[in-house]
Amino acid sequence: MAIIEVVSLDKIYNDSAVEVTALKNINLSISSGEFTAIVGPSGSGKTTLLNLIGGLDYPTSGKIRVGDVWLNELKGFRLIDFRLHNIGFVFQSYNLIPVLTALENVELIMQLQGVSAKERRKRATELLHRVGLGDRCDSRPSKLSGGQQQRVAVARALASKPKYILADEPTANLDGKSTETLLNVMEELNRDEGVTFIFSTHDQRVINRARRVVLLEDGYINSDTFN
C-alpha cells in the first residue's frame, strides 16, 4: 500500500476577491522508500502540493492519506500532533533557531515529543555525525555555512523518526559543492535507512538524482516518470 495517497485534490486561493486555482484534480500515490522530485516552473503548484501533503494547509476539495490517516479529517491539535510524529520538513530557508546550537536545534523536536534529555542528546549527536557535522554540534547557525545549516535541517527532520521527509527547494540557496554534499547525504539515508524523500524543486541537480519525477504545469500533473 502506498504510504501517501492524494485523491482528486483541488486547491483554490481567494485573495482580494481574485480566485486563483493552484492545483486541479491531482491524483498521486507515493510508496515507502521513494526518492521523488515534484518539478515545474514557478507558479505550477509545487510548494502548494508539498504543503498539502505535509498537513500545513487544507485542500479545497479532495483527500490526502498518509499511512492509514486521512489528513483532511484532522483538525487543530490532532493535526499538529500527527505532523510532529510522522512528517519531517526541510525548508529552503533552513528555519534553524539562531540562539540554539546545531545540537539543540536537532534536539528541539524530540523535546516537543517528550523524549528524555539523555535519549534526545544521544540521537541528535548520532544524526549530526550521520550528516557529517559531528564536529559542529556546539556551533550556532551563524557560524555554519549554508550547506552545513541545511544538513542540520536534515538531521532535525530525521530526529522525530518520520514516515517521510518533505524538502521544499532544499538546494535553492546552495552552491554546487554544498548541493552535491547534501544530496549525497539524502541519497545515503534513503538507500541505507529507507527514508522516503519528496522534493519540490526546479534544480536540475536534484532532478538528475531523483528516481521519480512528477511534472506539474498550471496546477495539473503533466507527466509522472520513473528513472
117-154 b/e with 16+ CB inside 10 Å = b? eeebbebbbebbebbbbeebbebbbeebebbbbbbbbb
Please give the model's pTM, rounded to 2 decimal places.
0.92
Q: What does each C-alpha distance from 61 to 53, 54, 72 come to in angstroms? A: 13, 16, 9
Question: What pLDDT, on the 0 to 100 scale, is given for residue 4?
Answer: 95
**pLDDT under 70: residue ranges of the chain:** 1, 16
Position 65 scores a pLDDT of 95
Per residue in 107-135, pLDDT tens?
A: 999 999 999 999 999 999 999 999 999 99
Residue 163, pLDDT score: 82
Domain CATH for 45: 3.40.50.300
- Give the span between the Cα atoms of 221 and 8, in whole angstroms: 12
pLDDT score recorded for residue 16: 67
Residue 193: exposure state from Cβ atoms within 10 A (0-12, 13-18, ≥19): exposed
pLDDT on residue 141: 97
Domain range for 93 is 4-226
Structurally, the chain folds into a number of domains equal to 1
